[in-house]
Each structure stands twice: as structure tokens, then as C-alpha cells.
Amino acid sequence: MRLPELLSPAGDLDRVHTALLYGADAVYLAGRLLSMRAKAVSFQDADLGQAIRLIHDQGKKAYITCNALPRENELELLPDYFSFLQELGADALILADLGLLRMAERYAPKCARHVSTQFGVRNSETASFLYDLGADTVVLARECSLDEIRNIRVHCPAELRLEAFVHGAMCVSFSGRCLLSNYLTGRDSNHGECAQPCRWKYHLVEETRPGKYMEISESDGTFILNAEDLCMIEHLADLREAGIDSFKIEGRMKSAYYTGAVTNAYRMALDALGRGEPPAIGTIQECEAVSHRPYCTGFYYGQPQQYYSDSLYHSTAEVSAIVVSCDEDGMALLKQCNKIKTGDSLELLLPGTDGVPFTAESLWDEQGERIADTRHAEMRYRMQLPEYAPPYTLVRTARSSGAS
């Protein structure tokens, strides 16, 4: 069986570089219109063109998200926008609206059309109908089980690619279609502006006792809408067997460290799958080294659990720096992400590894003066690495055994 595509998110050019360095086969990113992550760093026109060229220079694919649900007054902007994305060389447009599917065919016929998870595809009849309308790929609803995916694969055209999420945040609502944010904050969750009120802590107020807030108590807390995060790194063989062609990582709003570390982990797991092997323990543990809520397997094996006890994120490591340049002997110029000091235990996250441990023996500022620590935000400094590392390689604190 052919190895599925690994599709990674990117909110800016640095994250495009990082996703490619750590093994993504394709990158999805947003332009100036129709992004479902309005608070993400969407690309302006010049940067978007640069990003697509960078992706193509490495033989990878660029998919542009156009999956917000447009209002009537936005339609007039889209013919020129779709034509522009085609001129830039976008490989595909990710769409969630039937009208936009037709408009994309008309104004960007050279771009493949991918139907977003926002459309809520859960059966083969819908998938086949979308294929007849010109869709190249459908991103299945997160609510699909593996058994349902197997049946969809059998009963829809073989040429239609099926894509599914393998890692990242889960929405408590059906495939992201929610009005809670609209009601409570006036921010349209179907237009990329969700305030994530499902993550908030709630209390009850009894009608005759205004102002007296009573905690809503479950066995382990009050975050009754707070979904766990998805992690399928141990189950990629099941997803491939079910017929998934593209494994998608959620997270255009996440950091470059998140993008790189998660892409690297799934790249190693996919390569192991290609060799007929399960992922190594170190590969699985890589998913613990990024900021996350407790993990689950989503709907793939049945109803997922929600997470009630708090809204905190957990991680066994944090990013310290990003490599700017490095000579053959490993002397590197780095950009600070978090403060370190001499003597700290660190890991160099080289692509295809689960971290090379080393100690920060000495630090120098850009003028060559020794420093005891990297106290200034985003400062550049020099440090000896255990070996050569290409630009955008990540340096992090040594992983702890527990969550923090």
C-alpha cells in the first residue's frame, strides 16, 4: 500500500520552513480571505507567493484554505482571489461551500478542489456527489469512525482522495460548526473567529439568587465542554488500512516548535509504517513534548472522552531556540525563544530523530562576548551544538519524565 501524504499546518513563513525541514509532504496555509483561523498569521499576497515557491522548490504541495462560510457581500471578491491563487501556483483550494466549489472550478480550474472537514462529509453518497462536482479530495468529518471510513472508501470512486485529521485540537461541536462563540461574544466561529467558549469554566446561577454563582461539579471538575486533543500516532496503520490518503495535522495557530516537533514525530512514524514497523517508543513520546491537552483517539474507535478537570496544557519540554545558521563543526547562531543559561541540559531536535542531548557549555552574544544566560527576548546568540544543524532546526530543554 502507498504511504499516505503527511499534511502539516503553517501560519507564517517560518512555520513553512519548519514543516518542510521536518518532513511534511504538503503544507496548508491561508491567504487574506476565507481563513477559518482569522486570528492566525494569514499570509499577505507577497508572502503567500514566496511560501508557495518555497514549498514547490522542495517538491512539495501547497494547499490554500478557503473554508470559511462566506456571506453574500464577500462573493464579489472571490473570482479575482481564486484566479490570483491559481496564478501563484496553489496546488489545491480547501473549500467548505458548494457555491465556492463551483466558483473555484470557474476561476481556478488548474487548482485541485479539496472539500473541508467543515462540510461534514460522513458517508460515501456525499463523497461521491462531491467527486461528481469536481472535488479531488474530501477531508472527512472528525466524527467518522474507522468502520465508517472503510465503507466510504469501498463505496466512493477510487480516484477520490480521502483525508483525515491525525493530530491536534478537537471541537466539541460537529466538525467545527458551532454558534456558542457567536452567541456569547459576537465572534463568528464559522468565519474563523471562534473565541473557544467551550474551553471556559462555567457556573450556575439559580433564578431567585441572582449574583450567587454555584460551581457545576462533575467527578473531576467543571470544564464540561472541554474536549481532549487527538493523537493517532500509534494507529496510523489502521488509518491507512481504512483507506486514508492524507494524514492531516491540525494547528495553523500553533508555534513553529509545535509544527516542527509534531511533523517530525509523524514523519518518523510514517517512515516506520513504510518499513512495516510500529512507531518507536521515542517517536510516540515526542507528542508529549509539545503543548497539548490530554490525548485521545477521537471518534475513530468510538465516542471520545471530554476533559473536565481544567483547561491547562501539558508538555514535557519547551523550545529554547531556533537555529539561524550553523557551520560544519556545529557552532550555531540561534534566535532565543525561551531563556537558557550555561550548564542547562538541552536537546537538538534534528529531523528524523527524537532529540540529540547536549549541555549548554558556553554562550556568546553576537559581539563574541561570553554571557551567562540568554536574558533578552528573541536575542541572537552563539552556542556549540553537538553536530551540524540546518536553519530552522529546533533546540529545546531536555524532556522531563512527567507533564508540566
DSSP string for residues in 238-262: HHHHHT--EEEE--TTS-HHHHHHH
| Average confidence score pLDDT of the chain | 91
Map grid coordinates 460548526 to a residue.
177
pLDDT of residue 81 exceeding 60: yes
| C-alpha cell belonging to residue 358 | 547536549
Q: What is the pLDDT of residue 34?
A: 81
Do residues 251 and 201 lie in contact, with contact meaning Cβ atoms separated by under 8 Å?
Answer: no
**CA-CA distances (angstroms) from residue 106 to 35, 48, 80, 127, 353?**
20, 22, 11, 21, 45
Q: Please, which pLDDT band fits residue 179 given cuts at 50, 70 and 90?
A: confident
- The number of residues making up the chain comes to 404
Q: What is the pLDDT of residue 97?
A: 94
Give dist(CA 53, CA 45) in Å, integer. 13
More confident residue, 154 or 307: 154
Tell me the mean pLDDT in the region 294-308: 83
Query: Phi/psi of residue 383, each to 5°?
Result: -155, 145
Tell me the mean pLDDT in the region 229-240: 97
Q: Which positions ≥6 away from 254 have C-beta within 8 Å?
A: 9, 11, 168
Q: Which range is most confident: 37-41, 169-173, 231-235, 397-401?
A: 231-235
* Lowest model confidence (mean pLDDT) among 134-138, 223-227, 319-323, 381-385: 223-227
In the chain, the percentage of residues whose pLDDT exceeds 70 is 91
pLDDT of residue 116 exceeding 80: yes
Give dist(CA 23, CA 260) in Å, integer. 9
Domains of the chain are 5-167+230-291 (3.20.20.70), 319-397 (2.40.30.10)
More confident residue, 67 or 42: 67
pLDDT of residue 403 exceeding 50: no
Q: What is the pLDDT of residue 404?
A: 41
pLDDT of residue 218 exceeding 70: no
Give dist(CA 291, CA 168) in Å, integer. 10
Do residues 100 and 66 lie in contact, with contact meaning Cβ atoms separated by under 8 Å?
Answer: yes
Q: What is the DSSP letter of 269?
A: H
Q: Please, which pLDDT band fits residue 312 given cuts at 50, 70 and 90?
A: confident
Q: What is the pLDDT of residue 400?
A: 80
234 alpha-carbon distance from chain centroid: 18
Tell me the mean pLDDT in the region 46-51: 95
Q: What is the pLDDT of residue 373?
A: 97
pLDDT of residue 192 exceeding 70: no
Do residues 29 and 74 lie in contact, with contact meaning Cβ atoms separated by under 8 Å?
Answer: no
More confident residue, 218 or 403: 218
Give dist(CA 333, CA 339) in Å, integer. 15
Give dist(CA 108, CA 50) in Å, integer. 19
Q: What is the pLDDT of residue 39?
A: 54
C-alpha closest to that of 265 among 22, 2, 12 = 22
Do residues 395 and 356 lie in contact, with contact meaning Cβ atoms separated by under 8 Å?
Answer: no
DSSP string, 15-84: HHHHHHHTT-SEEEEE-SSS-S-TTS-PPPHHHHHHHHHHHHHTT-EEEEEE-S---GGGGGGHHHHHHH
Q: What is the pLDDT of residue 36?
A: 58
C-alpha closest to that of 322 among 310, 332, 307 = 332
